[in-house]
Amino acid sequence: MYPTVKQLEAFLSTARLGSFSAASESLHTTQSAVSKRIAELEAALSAELFERSQKRPALTTKGRALLPLAAQVVDLLARIGEEMLDPDPFAGRLRIGVTEISALTWLRRFIEHAREHYPRLTIDPEVNSSRTLLEQFDDNALDIVVVPKIDRWPSGYCNIVVGTLSTAWVASPQRFGSKRRIEPGELADYPLLLQAESSVTARVHEVWLREHGVSARLATRTNSLPVLGQLTIAGLGVSVLPTEFFREEIAQGLLAVFETEDALPQIEYHAIYRSERGEPVLKIAALIESMCVFHRASD
């Protein structure tokens, strides 16, 4: 049989106050009730906790060993009660899943503002591919995810548009010259640099390529956006990059943007959450919407 909370409280009060009568007053009960609880605790642990031969109860060796452990248990149970009864809906942890570009841009500002507005809320970010984030969300491992729009959201999920990502075909002007306009079909003549196949945005761009008769089968791929940018600047191929994220490199002439007759589609980003999470998660989604701009975090 395990000790009960009341037994441990009786033991702690008696040990700290030095008498059964003082403990009973502290616990708002009778002295006989305190004595009974301690006797039950000793029976449960098969150990004598107090020397009763003296005028005042003194802890035995076993009692001294139990004292810090009992204090930890009672304190922990008190904390559990405080957390469960806490009326603040923005206390605790929020598990948010984002893709790499969000982590590199607006996520830092979002965490700063969340701490300012909700100081008792801790943000735990998870950075991964859209597919993995949605799987984790489906398994209740995440409270809210921010991912590119997919064809159909699973039933029961709520979503709001929080931002739009603009992309364009870009290349190194030192490697491919100063040409600023290109026909979509001409991309077949260039080595292509694309994001990994697990990326939703990469799949959108591949559909665009297929519609214009260009195969992405031989494209060089990476799951890192900064690496993709560096490979493009080095002249290793033509790639699709988010123009806001790489605006400094474009302004410096390290990257040149190709205009195409049929522009690439913009990528909508959505915050996905469950309706049963209530108003707090809806306010968090609104805060994300106000923060979600795909500039560098240092901008």
The per-residue pLDDT for range 171-224, each reduced to its tens digit, is: 999 887 766 888 888 889 899 999 988 888 888 999 999 999 999 888 999 999
In the chain, residues under CATH classification 1.10.10.10 are: 5-85
pLDDT of residue 246: 95
pLDDT of residue 199: 86
C-alpha pair distances (Å), 192 with each of 225, 238, 246, 264: 14, 5, 18, 15
pLDDT of residue 37: 92
Which pTM does this prediction carry?
0.67
Residues whose CB is less than 8 angstroms from the CB of residue 247 and which lie 6 or more positions away in sequence, other chains included: 295
Tell me which CATH code domain 92-164+268-291 carries.
Answer: 3.40.190.10
Secondary structure class of 98 (helix, strand, coil): strand
The DSSP secondary structure of 162-201, one letter per residue, reads EEEE-EEEEE-HHHH-S--B--GGGGGGS-EEEE-TT-HH
- Top CATH class of 167-258 equals alpha beta
Candidates 3.40.50.720, 3.40.30.10, 1.10.10.10, 3.40.1160.10; CATH matching 5-85 = 1.10.10.10
**Counting Cβ atoms within 10 Å, is residue 173 exposed (0-12), middle (13-18) or buried (19+)?**
middle
Q: How many CB atoms lie within 10 A of CB 75?
A: 11
pLDDT of residue 299: 47
pLDDT of residue 80: 76
In the chain, residues under CATH classification 3.40.190.10 are: 92-164+268-291, 167-258
pLDDT of residue 183: 87
Within the chain, which residues score under 50 in pLDDT?
299
